[in-house]
Amino acid sequence: MRIWLPIVIAASACTSSQPTKDDASRLFLATTTAVNAAEQKAVTSTQALNAPAVRNLDYIGPCESEGSFEVKGTADDTALTYDLQTSFTNCVSAAHIALDGSLHFSPSALTGSIAFSDQTTSATCEMNLSFSGTAVSGTVCGYDVRDLGH
């Protein structure tokens, strides 16, 4: 019986349902970076000399290493506003960070559910962030974003 006890403890530690604060911090950084990159690629794909100021986006693109992302919504170049639904499907970055899930992104909020995995962990979390100027408030994986160190 002594042989099995450490194995059971190790297995239960790996399957914890609550991500750590460090996991949430990495998820926050990877997700916000990926959402911004996806938005830029989608907007750039519609740019032309006589492009309308308000664009309807419906773009599917490849991620850096594998997988894809999809951006649907509107972007207004004149008012500098956007209202986007961004989805990731096994979207793997060059840093080997994978994202799956769907998020709503606007100048005032980033909300939705995202699954994150890297070389050390995997987690599925809700993001519920609000933006006001340069201030960010809300939660990532149940942690206050202001406590994540970013």
pLDDT of residue 137: 95
82 lies in some domain: yes
Average confidence (pLDDT) over 5-15:
31
Tell me what pLDDT residue 120 has: 85
Residue 2 placed within a domain: no
The answer to whether residue 9 is domain-embedded is no
Query: Residue 51 has what pLDDT?
Result: 62
> Regarding predicted confidence, which is higher, 19 or 17?
19
Which tens digits make up the pLDDT trace of 32-82?
A: 888 888 888 887 877 654 566 788 889 999 999 999 999 999 988 777 788
Q: Would you state the pLDDT for residue 17?
A: 62
92 in any annotated domain = yes
Q: What is the pLDDT of residue 36?
A: 85
Residue 2 has pLDDT above 80, yes or no: no
Q: CA–CA separation, 105 vs 65, rounded Å?
A: 23
Residue 29, pLDDT above cutoff 90: no
Number of domains in the chain: 1
* Per-residue confidence (pLDDT) for residue 6, from 0 to 100: 32
> The tokens 């693109």 sit on which residue?
61
Q: Which residue range forms the structural domain that includes residue 73?
A: 19-45+55-147
- Within-domain flag for 63: yes
- The answer, yes or no, to whether residue 5 has pLDDT greater than 80, is no
Instruction: Give pTM, 2 decimals.
Output: 0.76
R_g (Cα) of the chain, nearest Å: 18
Cβ neighbours, 10 Å, residue 7: 9
Query: What are the tens digits of pLDDT across the range 91-129?
Result: 999 889 999 999 999 999 999 999 999 888 888 999 999
Q: Which residues, other chains included, contact 114 with Cβ-Cβ below 8 Å and sequence gap of 6+?
A: 27, 31, 88, 99, 100, 101, 102, 103, 124, 125, 127
Q: Is residue 114 part of a domain?
A: yes
Residue 8 lies in a domain: no
Domain membership flag for residue 83: yes
